[in-house]
């Protein structure tokens, strides 16, 4: 998530805290979301290879997925909070709780006790908001309405919904799906467009969002609403 606090502590790439594009933003750490993308893709490639009757390739991709999962659990998991975190090169974990902590739900073969603790965190007030799931915990000091620094993105919820179903949390998956669709429907019905992202408080402070609509393109319910490029994020569910 290229604008979140792990990458840009002072603000987004183009925000006041970040200065020129990327000059004050650092990606100098191991990203939890990318670790999970790698695991998912390896597991998918193993299934394809098995279907095509390439056992050696299937074994290779399965072993790689297993190794990355083991290292993710060893280095990125925090037993105290029951979540995974991004990792600095010196071996310390970053201090921010992010939506990527729920991506392991979509990884097959995860430790069930870890999954249970991850789901407990998902249910917490930090993430189960009026419009879940925010990109970072609402307790994050500089939680904001901008990009990956607070709002909910539908494609991330899609990952979480699939993961909840994978591990048998079907009722919670249904509830998250309903809330995700409601966020899109609320503002599609009002404005006739699908937004890029949605803020946790839109269902609590709709009048504020409406009043800010004409004042700035960077509003709590999303930006770039005129670009079809971003429709995919909010129509995936």
User: Helix (H, G, I), strand (E, B), or coil: what is residue 219?
Assistant: coil
Longest dimension (CA), the chain: 60
Total count of domains within the chain: 1
Mean pLDDT across 103-109: 93
pLDDT at 100 > cutoff 50: yes
Task: Give the number of C-alpha atoms closer than 13 A to the C-alpha of residue 85, restricted to the C-beta side.
Answer: 18
106 located within any domain = no
Residue-wise pLDDT for 19-64, tens only, equals 343 444 455 678 899 899 999 999 999 999 999 999 999 999 999 9
Q: Which token pair is 173?
A: 């998956």
Q: Which long-range contacts (CB under 8 A, 24 or more apart) does 202-208 make?
A: 202/130, 202/131, 203/130, 203/131, 204/130
Please give the residue range of the domain that contains residue 125: 112-237
17 located within any domain = no
141 located within any domain = yes
32 located within any domain = no
User: Helix (H, G, I), strand (E, B), or coil: what is residue 226?
Assistant: coil
Compute the distance between CA of residue 69 and CA of residue 78 in angstroms, rounded to an integer. Answer: 14
156 located within any domain = yes
Q: Going along 45-183, which residue ranges are E strands?
A: 77-78, 83-84
88 located within any domain = no
According to the model, what pLDDT value does residue 234 have? 53
Helices (H) then strands (E): counts for the chain: 7, 2
142 located within any domain = yes
Residue-wise pLDDT for 163-219, tens only, equals 999 999 999 999 999 988 887 777 777 767 676 666 654 444 433 444 333 333 333
98 located within any domain = no
Are 150 and 143 in contact, with CB atoms under 8 Å apart?
yes
């Amino acid at each position: 998530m290229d604008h979140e606090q792990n990458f840009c502590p002072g603000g987004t790439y183009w925000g006041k805290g970040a200065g020129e594009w990327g000059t004050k933003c650092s990606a100098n750490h191991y990203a939890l979301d990318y670790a999970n993308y790698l695991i998912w893709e390896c597991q998918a490639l193993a299934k394809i290879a098995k279907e095509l009757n390439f056992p050696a390739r299937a074994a290779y991709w399965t072993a790689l997925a297993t190794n990355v999962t083991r290292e993710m659990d060893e280095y990125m998991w925090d037993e105290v909070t029951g979540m995974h975190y991004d990792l600095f090169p010196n071996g310390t974990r970053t201090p921010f709780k992010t939506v990527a902590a729920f991506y392991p739900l979509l990884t097959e073969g995860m430790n069930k006790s870890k999954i249970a603790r991850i789901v407990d965190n998902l249910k917490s007030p930090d993430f189960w908001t009026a419009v879940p799931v925010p990109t970072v915990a609402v307790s994050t000091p500089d939680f904001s309405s901008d990009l990956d620094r607070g709002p909910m993105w539908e494609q991330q919820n899609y990952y979480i919904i699939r993961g909840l179903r994978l591990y048998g949390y079907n009722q919670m998956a249904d509830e998250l799906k309903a809330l995700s669709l409601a966020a899109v429907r609320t503002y599609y019905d009002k404005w006739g467009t699908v937004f890029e992202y949605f803020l946790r408080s839109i269902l609590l402070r709709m009048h504020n969002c409406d009043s800010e609509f004409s004042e700035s393109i960077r509003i709590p319910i999303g930006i770039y609403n005129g670009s079809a490029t971003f429709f995919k994020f909010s129509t995936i569910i």
